[in-house]
Amino acid sequence: MAALPLMQGVCCPAEPLPGHAKTTSKQACFQEDHWKEKLRQPARIQVQPARQLQQAEHLGDYNIWSGRYAGEGFARPSRATTRVCLEADTGFTRADVFDRSAPICLHFARGCCTYGKDCAYRHCTPLGEDEKKMDASRDIFGRERHASFREDMGGTGSWSRECRSLYVGRIFAKPSEDIIEETVARHFGEFGAIEALRVLKPKGCAFVTYTARCTAEFAKEAMAEQSLDHDEQLNVRWAYDDPNPRAKAAKLRDYAQQMLSAMAARGDMAQPEVFSNMDFPVAKKRMVDRDVTRGYGADEAASGGSSFVPMMRQEHEAREAEVQRMHDERAALEAEQVAAAATEAEAGRLDAILQGIDDAKSCGPANPAGPLDEFYSFLEDGSNRDAPQPSAHAGSSAHAGSIPACSAEPPHSDGAQQPDLANLPPGVRRTRVAEEWIEYIDPSTRYPYYVNARTGESTWQKPT
Ligand SMILES: [Zn+2]
């Protein structure tokens, strides 16, 4: 069952009401031109005045707004005795001559206007121009609309809602769904284009959504308490929402399709068409991300022919473990390299000191005590690392020979860096690069590397 686009219009039920011209059901689709042409003829009187008077005498005051006679209470309204026959009743009235912005006649819609061409309201079905100039605060009959629906979903409707959908209850539900749908479409399509029609056969009801609000307002009044092809008494109300799960699913699917198309247009997704043959129950599965979604549900993979391999939780954990293992290995390797560099630097430092002693001897007795002191301190190994070390200077092991042998005092770094040097392998330069990151020079390769002072993490990439 699909939504019917534009319904074939008919005028009257199979048996026309007394006083109505017999018309065939072979009207073309709803055509505005046809009804505009009809407005060239004078509107006819739908019901003789005497008949309405007789009713009024019998039942007391009739309230046209609430649609009830005084004292009638909330009893079920009686079956409609008149029904508009658009083909015969449409015509121009005083409103078309003097005030073309006048609302449509409510009694005309109910098929009981006694004024005919003398009516101060228009006698025609709502047309496109009506929808354009409609005021949200009033309906097509000029009645006030309200912020919310009436409790029984009757009345003029709510201006906070679209008000294009009607609930049609108490339909004779013996025929098949298709026949009911055709029947409802034939009777309700008479007033204007129908956008969607859903029939719930088990409940004997249908939801009719018109393309225009004014058409829905007109149809609601015109079809209230009427019958279709059988002897029903329809219950026509405003519909909040079509409760048919298929209708909801269709709406959701439309949204999803729109979204996917938009994503495809942006280039976020390669193949939106994969989703087009997705049945909706499948779509209820988790939508975490594209890969994971494809992974769930073998039926989807089968229908979509997707080449994605399902990834289970165990596989995911295994992959995570592998990544962690590789990370650990790399960290161990780096630590090894640092240790090797430290050892090498230590050897380089000793070379430098010995070289310094030799140089001092050859230079003469300028200050031989300096290099010797260094040598002794080196032998103590770490117990007095706080002392200024020549090897901690910018010159590293490879630059051992560059230490000024004859200088009056042993070269050392400036005082501010002294505390940092305590835990530093000799021959390695350190400078602060960014917050927490310190740059070191690898003595073996001469490449700088970076250590995070807080986490101990090291990297060859310069952190930003
Ligand atoms: Zn009228």
- Domain ranges (residues) in the chain: 32-240, 246-304, 315-459
Q: What percent of the chain has pLDDT over 90?
A: 17
Q: How far is the CA of 228 from the centre of ligand 1 (A)?
A: 24
Which structure tokens are listed for 211?
């393309």
d(Cα 86, Cα 93) in Å, to the nearest integer? Answer: 14
Q: Mind spelling out the 3-state secondary structure of 433-448?
A: EECCEEEEECCCCCCE
Q: How far is the CA of 207 from the centre of ligand 1 (A)?
A: 28
Q: How far is the CA of 287 from the centre of ligand 1 (A)?
A: 56
* Tens-digit pLDDT profile for residues 39-55: 888 898 988 876 554 55
The more confidently predicted of residues 36 and 379 is 36
Q: How far is the CA of 91 from the centre of ligand 1 (A)?
A: 10
**Is the pLDDT score of 161 beyond 80?**
no
* Tens-digit pLDDT profile for residues 66-94: 666 666 555 667 888 889 999 899 999 99
d(Cα 163, Cα 380) in Å, to the nearest integer? Answer: 94
Q: How far is the CA of 148 from the centre of ligand 1 (A)?
A: 28
Q: How far is the CA of 83 from the centre of ligand 1 (A)?
A: 13
Q: How far is the CA of 112 from the centre of ligand 1 (A)?
A: 8
* Tens-digit pLDDT profile for residues 373-416: 776 777 666 544 443 444 444 444 444 444 444 334 444 444 44
| Percent composition of the chain: helix, strand, coil (DSSP 3-state, to 5) | 40, 10, 45
Return the CATH architecture of domain 32-240.
2-Layer Sandwich (3.30)
282, amino acid identity: V
Question: Comparing 220-224, 281-285, 420-424, which segment has the lowest mean pLDDT?
Answer: 281-285
When the pLDDT of each residue in the chain is averaged and rounded to a whole number, the result is 72
Query: Quick check: 117 and 143 in contact, CB under 8 A?
Result: no
Identify the pLDDT of residue 309.
58
Section 429-458 average pLDDT: 79
Section 268-273 average pLDDT: 55
Q: How far is the CA of 273 from the centre of ligand 1 (A)?
A: 54
Which structure tokens are listed for 397?
């092991």
* Tens-digit pLDDT profile for residues 129-145: 888 888 788 889 988 88
* Tens-digit pLDDT profile for residues 321-355: 999 999 999 999 999 888 888 888 888 887 887 77
DSSP secondary structure code for residue 47 in this structure: S
Query: Quick check: 106 and 141 in contact, CB under 8 A?
Result: yes
Identify the pLDDT of residue 220.
93
